[in-house]
Amino acid sequence: MYWTEFFIPTNKEIPADAKIPSHQLMIRSGMIKQESSGIYSWLPLGFKVLKKIEKIVREEQEKAGAIEMLMPTLQAVELWKESGRYDGYGKEMLKIIDRHNRFLIYGPTNEEQVTEIFRAFVKSYKNLPLNLFHIQWKFRDEIRPRFGVMRGREFLMKDAYSFDLNEEESKKSYYKMFISYIKIFKRLKINTIPVVADSGEIGGSLSHEFSIITNTGEGQVYCDKRLFDLELDNDDLNNLSDLERAVGNYTQFYSATEDKHNEKIFKEKVPEEFRLKGKAIEVGHIFSFGEKYSSPMKAYITNKEGKNVSVYMGSYGIGVSRLVAAIIEYSHDKKGIIWPNSVTPFHVGIINVQADNKECLKVIQEIKSEFEENNLEVLVDDRDESVGKKYADMDLIGLPYILTIGPRDIKEKKVDVKFRHTDTKENLSIEGAINRITSLAKEKTRS
């Protein structure tokens, strides 16, 4: 892609209302544009990252057996009256009146909707387990939308819903999602902390939040850093005891939110060098709530004895749009964003020092094609701008590998390469640079 053929409206100024780095950087790098309070357009660069995160989430959920579908954003209020949540949900629920004076709501979540789908089609234990997910926009009329897409009113969520015959089977589904979440966050290169959580509005008895610690989170978390070093084997875990063991590897380490934190136990259990506390950003939240929705909504199945029983359910959310901001919050410096290879909008940036030099353009075109043959995405800054501006913008948008090419480099068949992750520079032969970057980018993109 050539910069002049794409759309990246970068901006030097720090927007006045953007209080945290990710919000500032997303606006300055032309990723998003605010349309009204808590509502954003995703400009091409931001949209590219959003799609890459979505893809990783989708791949891992499918590997864990969840099946993708798509439910609408608008829901009938009747379902929420059936579940008993209509009155309790409060002002965060956005209600819409259609031309027939019927009330609809812009879905803040989909437990009711998916339960309705389930009960319409599934009648027997033989069709279980079932896990359905979608990646769809939600709306919550947050009282204080802030920090850009971190706490928006409209936001993109991946929400999965599991259906099982009984509590034990339902636990299995919960643990599968737990492990799938760990895998997703590892691929996104963020260290997340699973913390036992209150299930709040969604309900149920078993719940974990997945949070990352950054300078700008909300609410304190405490944990044992050793949990970040755990490795997951790639085996598909299917029986309850294997799953329990895998989840237990994570939950054996101390982790707590402020309200559940016990300083005495923290100090007893965690050696000082592994103690970590800081402000948390919640990027995922999972719930197991048994019959909470299926019972009032009469989502019954026949069990092995031929008896009608309510199906056991769980729900599993990931803030896909929030993750874009969370990753930036986690990985940036004074100059801009530093994307992990797995979600970077482009892997390689090429700065054309002399935009009108035909020789340079030709060589850049060749280098670009070679990268692309290796499935790496390239952004060539071919604008008629100062080299200083081009450097600053490349740093701002955060691509991992940046090549600078001018007439002298072409004569010497050498190129300056900047490695954004380590903030180091090397002068390499053109061939050497291509090989190095290709192998580095591939290695780091792999799950």
Contact footprint for ligand P5A (CB under 6 A): 109, 140, 142, 151-152, 155, 157, 159, 202, 282-285, 287, 315-317, 319, 321-322
Q: In the chain, how long is the greatest CA-to-CA distance?
A: 81
CB nearer to ligand P5A: give 16 or 143: 143
CB nearer to ligand P5A: give 30 or 108: 108
CB 331 within 8 A of CB 189: yes
CB of 200 to ligand P5A, least distance (A): 8
Residue 220 exposure: Cα atoms within 13 Å on the Cβ side = 10
CB of 259 to ligand P5A, least distance (A): 16
Query: How far is C-alpha 166 from the chain's CA centre?
Result: 30
Residues 428 and 426: their CA atoms lie apart, in Å, by 6
CB of 319 to ligand P5A, least distance (A): 2
CB of 202 to ligand P5A, least distance (A): 5
CB nearer to ligand P5A: give 183 or 418: 183
User: Which residues contact residue 64 at a Cβ distance below 8 angstroms, ignoring those fewer than 6 apart?
Assistant: 131, 176, 177, 179, 180
CB of 382 to ligand P5A, least distance (A): 36
CB nearer to ligand P5A: give 142 or 370: 142
**Tokens 């031309």 label which residue?**
99
User: Which residues contact residue 268 at a Cβ distance below 8 angstroms, ignoring those fewer than 6 apart?
Assistant: none
CB 209 within 8 A of CB 256: no
CB nearer to ligand P5A: give 137 or 266: 137
CB of 175 to ligand P5A, least distance (A): 16
Nearest Cα to Cα of residue 337 among 77, 45, 71: 45
CB nearer to ligand P5A: give 142 or 291: 142
Q: Which residue minimizes CB distance to ligand P5A?
A: 319
Q: What is the DSSP track for 3-56?
A: GGGS-----SSPPTT--SHHHHHHHHTTSEEEEETTEEEE-HHHHHHHHHHHHH
CB of 278 to ligand P5A, least distance (A): 17
CB nearer to ligand P5A: give 3 or 330: 330
